[in-house]
Amino acid sequence: MDTYTSVTYSIKKHNDNVVKTIEYNSSIKDQDKMINTYYNNNISNDGQNENFNKILKDKNNTYEQIGNSQNKTDWNVQEYHNHTKQREYIDKYNNHKFDEYIIDAVPSLTNLLLDK
């Protein structure tokens, strides 16, 4: 099994607008299956925009779930099977929490840096 995890934090300033961004990306590949999770959170003077993309691929199928939330409101979610939209719905904000993923990834990164 191969795994990959990335957490990126950035701050961009343009005139009076400050945009803080955190991105989380995780991939797991095991034989014929691949799971990828991507999460992006932008906070600016205009508010907070979050989106995620979860993909599961096996030999013959691709399942994808895409979500978007503005200012921590409920998620607008779309689900696809083999790139064909299957359904679209609203889901509660707390049903898609990415804080735990990011918090779990940070100790791994810290240990990696300390091992050098």
- Cα separations (Å) of 86 from 38, 53, 57, 83, 96? 20, 15, 16, 9, 19
Q: 84-110 as b/e, with b when 16 or more CB fall inside 10 Å?
A: eeeeeeeeeeeebebeeebeebeeeee
What is the span of the domain harbouring residue 30? Answer: 2-114
Q: Is residue 100 very low, low, confident or very high in pLDDT (cuts 50, 70, 90)?
A: confident
The residues, ordered by sequence, that sit 6+ positions from 78 with a Cβ below 8 Å of its Cβ are 65, 66, 67, 85, 87, 88
| Domain count across the chain | 1
Chain center to CA of 51? 7
Whether the predicted pLDDT of 3 surpasses 70: yes
Is the pLDDT at 55 greater than 80? The verdict is yes
Q: What are the C-alpha distances in Å from 98 to residues 23, 41, 47, 101?
A: 10, 10, 18, 5
pTM equals: 0.81
Predicted pLDDT of residue 111: 61
